[in-house]
Chain A
Amino acid sequence: MTTSLPIDHELHPAGAQYVGAKINRVEDPRFLRGEGRFVDDMSLPGMLHAAFLRSPVAHANITSIDTSRAAALPGVTAVFTGQDLEAEGIQPIVSRAFLPGMGDNLREPLPTKKVRYVGEAVAVVVADSRYIAEDACELIDVEYERLPAVIDPEGALDPGAALLHEDLPANLIGRKSESHGDPERVFAEADHVFSHRFVHGRVAGVPIECRGVIAEYDRGREGFLIYSSTQIPHLTRSVAAECFGLAESDLQVIAPDVGGGFGIKAHPYIEEVVIPFAARRIGRPVKWIEDRYEHLSSAVHAKELVMDLELAVAADGTFLGMRGRYNANAGAYGCFPQTGMVDAMCAATLLPSLYKVDHVSYEILAVYTNKCMTGTYRGVGWGAGHTAREVLIDDAARALGRDPLELRLQNCIPSEPYRSVVGMNYDGGSYQESMEQARDALDYDALRERQAKLREEGRYIGVGFSPFVEPAGFGSKAAAAVGQKHQVTYDWGSVTLEGDGTVTVRMGFHSHGQGHETTFAQVAADQLGVRMEDVRIKYGDTEGVPYSTGTFASRSGVIGSGLIMRAGGDVRDKLLRLAAHLMEVSPADIELSGGKAFVRGAPDTARTIKEVAQYAYFGPGSRQLEGDMALTSTRSYDPPESYSNGTIAVVVEVDPETGKVTIERTVAIEDCGVMLNPTIVEGQVAGAVAQGIGGALYEEFVYDDDGNFLSGTLLDYLLASSMEVGPIEVHHIETPSPVTDGGIKGMGEAGTLAAPAAVLNAVADALSPFGVTFTSTPITASLIRDAVAAKREGEQ
């Protein structure tokens, strides 16, 4: 496929040698040697340590808090509660309403009146050590007046349900309905209607590094230095500045090395307000490192949705219409900035996915419940909605006696750019080809033969397909396409040629596993013709890099590369003029490559770029050039909607007696447009698939009916390890985006988004002789075993 770029800058200028190459991550040596610098590695002079007292109850009025015993413990400097913050006018974190009838959600940094979930911070102790602070927490006496806990999302709006937020009329975060085409008619006329209620389990990213904050207050300048393990230093600065009533640049937020985020760290948190408050009150730096219980109970959860889906199908298998109702069990607060609507909105707007369906309607709502608030986690609601849809399609295929892959191919959209009925503008891809490639990679016919043969031996293998299209390169237009018009994204970055010929890229796209120091160095090196090792990628410090909404939603690769191409192109033009001036030729005759500038076709004329840079900075002759010759440029980029696609296929063997699922093979076909670095792409796919498999089979945050949190350790919340994930084969298709800079599409989430459906479909396919189907995640071994047993009993 050819592509015409609508823009004047190129991903591969003459002499380019890095973009598209398989290059190992340049950041890995420091991590492998244990030389990364994370928040917990930081220490400031005079630093104290904080611990939070967290609520043991799901819903209660705070009748009284007595901190006197805790404050009296030797080594304790101070104890603060919500009253202390309120007394100094610290403002709540506000997630603004963005739908008609929706209310703003206010979250006090520490609650003054109520607690609303188990794990909610109630007070903070600052002491000489974390040990003392933890001991002092146990000496705080809090009297709670218990209130009924709201746990079930379907009951949260009942008139008798306890109200979480007294300033709101109901436990409703927001609600919205849309209808496109004439779904009522096609559902009335369809030969077949398939439907199910699918309940997606509550999951989260669970990074190796929990969160952490260090804050120091500068009394003279009246400003803060804040270290935080966050994906979004600038947004964190914006929110904290608003809470304190300070100018944004009165705060410097630094996210150093961050040990994984997965969207969980893409929200500002109350600790990023409370710890700075404590540091200001005490006059010394304060550090808080989140422990695993705190992380599991109070960093955002995600994807808990009750989904009622319907699929209308004609006699020949043509998909006619889809209807969906998505109720997000969003927890106690609206996370900044999207609120708990994020999963429902994402699930619903991607309902038709890559199928040609002209009649679609949906209702979305999100409700407050006495659980941890929900936010974004890799694949967001796209993944939950995708699982519910793809499982229903497999159920439909079985009922119709059709091959699940053939049925999907019959209904697949063409590869050209396509506007979905709900208004998403897919920029073209390899929707059918990726399914065919997955089929071929599996040797599908032979696999079906083997399946039949093994069944005769009493062994059950199955195959599941999960073709996907996913919004990526998330800018303001993509946000609008998924119903998040309120989420304005804004990103700029700069490229500078230093006086020694090295190149510095400054951008706000934090890297916490994405390999930005590698891919962005590839792009920048190609733009300026320098060697990759001469490029430095700077991020994470709000004082050191231009504004960026941050790294999430597969956006950094597209937007970051676009920024470097734009700003780098500006600097390249100046570099060419300087080299031409120095070498007394025309700029059009100069080529830049491998750290040298030379007259095209005459490499022996080369000057090193270092020489050119030194000439620019220190050579008096360079001042004769006209125009602004600053060897730096700062540009912004807000890309159009773009969508990656692919197919994940999984082969499993299931033991019907124990419910144990063994993953034999995972084939991932990934089309993310023009690839910057296939090694990085493959790593992202593998990690995302692993998290998808975990969510499909093992992971779930469980609360009991009283709102007690039952998943407070990693023995309760089970992550998939390499033992469970099995081998993953990644295949590439490169369909350049016709709309983004360089034809790049974002990637990194598809495995988490699409793998669960492939796993569920594979397990149901394996157990099809028993008639077992699934309507929830995770499908744990005991759930599978019970489902098989129930079917066997039913037959007797």
Chain B
Amino acid sequence: MEINNEFTVQAPVSQAWAILTDVERIAPCIPGFQLEEIEGDEYRGTMKLKIGAVVMSYASRLTFVEKDESEHRVVMRGGGREQRGQGTVDATIVSVLEAAGDNETRVNVTATLDVTGRIAGFGRSIMGDVSARLIDQFVQCLETRVMAGSS
């Protein structure tokens, strides 16, 4: 399943790039994510996801597969496994940044998801809605907390 989202942040591309490729800085803004340890270039933590009345908790890991600063393209691979249950999430996330103005960057995120278990049963449409909501929260947090602090 592929989910595509786009958002803009109020920052020039170079600044946005520096922030968005710094997992430790953006981690507090990823809704439900708790970064627990970093080993080499692998980031590990717990991801809590709420869909309706269902709350899923995943033991998660994230690595950078590609970081191309000249093209402002970053590819991450993430994986998670339900802490209680059998479901899994595997994701390849491609983010491309481009200038949308002097002080504005448009970020296009394409996530290719392979989801199994309980949340897979909710179907594609609800997962699209949920991911859009998560990205909204992420961006809002980014702008109010991370960007504000760095400008």
Q: Which residues of chain B in 103-151 are interfacial with respect to chain A, using CB atoms and an 8 Å cutoff?
A: 114-118, 120-124
Bound complex: CA A135 to CA B83 (Å):
12
The residue on B at minimum CB distance from A135 is B84
- Whether A708 contacts B115 by the Cβ 8 Å rule is yes
- Mask for A701-728, Cβ within 8 A of B = 1, else 0? 0101010111110001000000000000
Task: List the B side residues contacting A138 at CB < 8 Å.
Answer: 82, 84-86
In the assembled complex, the CB of B53 is this many whole angstroms from the nearest CB of chain A, namely 12
- Mask for A314-341, Cβ within 8 A of B = 1, else 0? 0000000000000000000000000000
- Whether B86 contacts A710 by the Cβ 8 Å rule is no
- Whether A53 contacts B121 by the Cβ 8 Å rule is no
Q: Which of B84, B86, B87, B114 contacts A706 (CB 8 A)?
A: B114
Task: List the B side residues contacting A702 at CB < 8 Å.
Answer: 123
The verdict on A56 contacting B120 (CB below 8 Å), with A706-B114, A708-B115 known, is yes
Bound complex: CA A615 to CA B1 (Å):
79
Bound complex: CA A118 to CA B82 (Å):
16
Q: Which of A53, A54, A57, A704 contacts B124 (CB 8 A)?
A: A704
In the assembled complex, the CB of B149 is this many whole angstroms from the nearest CB of chain A, namely 40
Q: Which of B86, B120, B122, B124 contacts A142 (CB 8 A)?
A: B86
The verdict on A53 contacting B86 (CB below 8 Å), with A706-B114, A708-B115, A708-B116 known, is yes
Bound complex: CA A53 to CA B114 (Å):
21
- Whether B124 contacts A56 by the Cβ 8 Å rule is no
- Whether A704 contacts B123 by the Cβ 8 Å rule is yes
B92 contacts partner chain A, Cβ-Cβ < 8 Å? no
Task: List the A side residues contacting B1 at CB < 8 Å.
Answer: 704, 706
The verdict on A56 contacting B117 (CB below 8 Å), with A138-B84, A142-B86 known, is yes
In the assembled complex, the CB of A162 is this many whole angstroms from the nearest CB of chain B, namely 16
Q: Which residues of chain A in 30-80 are interfacial with respect to chain B, using CB atoms and an 8 Å cutoff?
A: 53-57
Task: List the B side residues contacting A140 at CB < 8 Å.
Answer: 86
- Whether A56 contacts B87 by the Cβ 8 Å rule is yes
Task: List the A side residues contacting B114 at CB < 8 Å.
Answer: 706
Q: Which of B82, B84, B121 contacts A708 (CB 8 A)?
A: B121
B60 contacts partner chain A, Cβ-Cβ < 8 Å? no
The residue on A at minimum CB distance from B117 is A56
B95 contacts partner chain A, Cβ-Cβ < 8 Å? no
- Mask for B17-50, Cβ within 8 A of A = 1, else 0? 0000000000000000000000000000000000
Q: Which of B116, B122, B123 contacts A56 (CB 8 A)?
A: B116
- Mask for A125-160, Cβ within 8 A of B = 1, else 0? 000000000010011101000000000000000000
Task: List the B side residues contacting A716 at CB < 8 Å.
Answer: 121
Q: Which of B85, B115, B121 contacts A709 (CB 8 A)?
A: B121
Bound complex: CA A138 to CA B57 (Å):
12
Size range of the interface on B? 10 to 19
Q: Which of B84, B85, B121 contacts A712 (CB 8 A)?
A: B121
In the assembled complex, the CB of B118 is this many whole angstroms from the nearest CB of chain A, namely 8
Q: How would you classify the secondary structure of chain A's contact residues: helix, strand, loop or mixed?
A: loop
- Whether B84 contacts A56 by the Cβ 8 Å rule is no
Task: List the A side residues contacting B82 at CB < 8 Å.
Answer: 138
The residue on A at minimum CB distance from B121 is A712
Task: List the A side residues contacting B121 at CB < 8 Å.
Answer: 708-712, 716
- Whether A708 contacts B120 by the Cβ 8 Å rule is yes
In the assembled complex, the CB of B142 is this many whole angstroms from the nearest CB of chain A, namely 31
In the assembled complex, the CB of A184 is this many whole angstroms from the nearest CB of chain B, namely 45
Task: List the B side residues contacting A704 at CB < 8 Å.
Answer: 1, 120, 123-124
Q: Which residues of chain A in 612-666 are interfacial with respect to chain B, using CB atoms and an 8 Å cutoff?
A: none
In the assembled complex, the CB of B22 is this many whole angstroms from the nearest CB of chain A, namely 32
Bound complex: CA A655 to CA B14 (Å):
55
Task: List the B side residues contacting A118 at CB < 8 Å.
Answer: 116
Task: List the B side residues contacting A53 at CB < 8 Å.
Answer: 86
- Whether A57 contacts B116 by the Cβ 8 Å rule is yes
The residue on A at minimum CB distance from B114 is A706
Q: Which of B82, B87, B116, B124 has the most CB of A within 10 A?
A: B116
Bound complex: CA A41 to CA B82 (Å):
34
Bound complex: CA A712 to CA B124 (Å):
14
In the assembled complex, the CB of B39 is this many whole angstroms from the nearest CB of chain A, namely 21
In the assembled complex, the CB of B113 is this many whole angstroms from the nearest CB of chain A, namely 10
Bound complex: CA A773 to CA B88 (Å):
41
In the assembled complex, the CB of A248 is this many whole angstroms from the nearest CB of chain B, namely 37
In the assembled complex, the CB of A551 is this many whole angstroms from the nearest CB of chain B, namely 33
In the assembled complex, the CB of A6 is this many whole angstroms from the nearest CB of chain B, namely 55
Bound complex: CA A53 to CA B117 (Å):
12
Bound complex: CA A54 to CA B114 (Å):
18
The residue on B at minimum CB distance from A297 is B121
Bound complex: CA A704 to CA B124 (Å):
8
Task: List the B side residues contacting A142 at CB < 8 Å.
Answer: 86
Q: Which of A53, A54, A708, A710 has the most CB of B within 10 A?
A: A708
The residue on A at minimum CB distance from B113 is A706
- Mask for A677-716, Cβ within 8 A of B = 1, else 0? 0000000000000000000000000101010111110001
Bound complex: CA A328 to CA B122 (Å):
26
Task: List the B side residues contacting A135 at CB < 8 Å.
Answer: 84
In the assembled complex, the CB of B67 is this many whole angstroms from the nearest CB of chain A, namely 28
In the assembled complex, the CB of A141 is this many whole angstroms from the nearest CB of chain B, namely 9
Bound complex: CA A704 to CA B128 (Å):
15
Bound complex: CA A139 to CA B124 (Å):
28
Q: Which of A56, A139, A704 has the most CB of B within 10 A?
A: A56
In the assembled complex, the CB of B58 is this many whole angstroms from the nearest CB of chain A, namely 13
Task: List the B side residues contacting A710 at CB < 8 Å.
Answer: 120-123
In the assembled complex, the CB of A754 is this many whole angstroms from the nearest CB of chain B, namely 32
In the assembled complex, the CB of B60 is this many whole angstroms from the nearest CB of chain A, namely 17
The residue on B at minimum CB distance from A702 is B123
The residue on B at minimum CB distance from A710 is B123
Task: List the A side residues contacting B122 at CB < 8 Å.
Answer: 710
Task: List the B side residues contacting A55 at CB < 8 Å.
Answer: 86
Bound complex: CA A55 to CA B115 (Å):
13
Task: List the A side residues contacting B84 at CB < 8 Å.
Answer: 135, 138-139
In the assembled complex, the CB of B89 is this many whole angstroms from the nearest CB of chain A, namely 11
Task: List the A side residues contacting B123 at CB < 8 Å.
Answer: 702, 704, 710
Bound complex: CA A334 to CA B4 (Å):
40
Q: Which residues of chain B in 59-104 are interfacial with respect to chain A, using CB atoms and an 8 Å cutoff?
A: 82, 84-88
Bound complex: CA A711 to CA B88 (Å):
19
Task: List the A side residues contacting B87 at CB < 8 Å.
Answer: 56
In the assembled complex, the CB of B102 is this many whole angstroms from the nearest CB of chain A, namely 43
Task: List the A side residues contacting B117 at CB < 8 Å.
Answer: 56
Bound complex: CA A67 to CA B55 (Å):
24
Task: List the A side residues contacting B116 at CB < 8 Å.
Answer: 56-57, 118, 706, 708
The residue on A at minimum CB distance from B118 is A56
Bound complex: CA A318 to CA B88 (Å):
58
Given known contacts A54-B86, A56-B88, what 10 new A-B pairs fall within 8 Å (CB)? A56-B87, A56-B118, A57-B116, A142-B86, A704-B123, A704-B124, A708-B116, A709-B120, A710-B121, A711-B121
What are 17 sample pairs from A and B whose C-beta atoms fall under 8 A apart?
A: A55-B86, A56-B85, A56-B86, A56-B116, A56-B118, A56-B120, A138-B82, A138-B86, A140-B86, A142-B86, A702-B123, A704-B120, A704-B124, A706-B1, A708-B116, A708-B120, A710-B121
The 10 A-B residue pairs with the shortest CB-CB distance, nearest first, are A708-B120, A56-B117, A138-B84, A56-B86, A56-B116, A712-B121, A710-B123, A57-B116, A138-B85, A56-B87
**A residues touching B (Cβ–Cβ < 8 Å)?**
53-57, 118, 135, 138-140, 142, 702, 704, 706, 708-712, 716
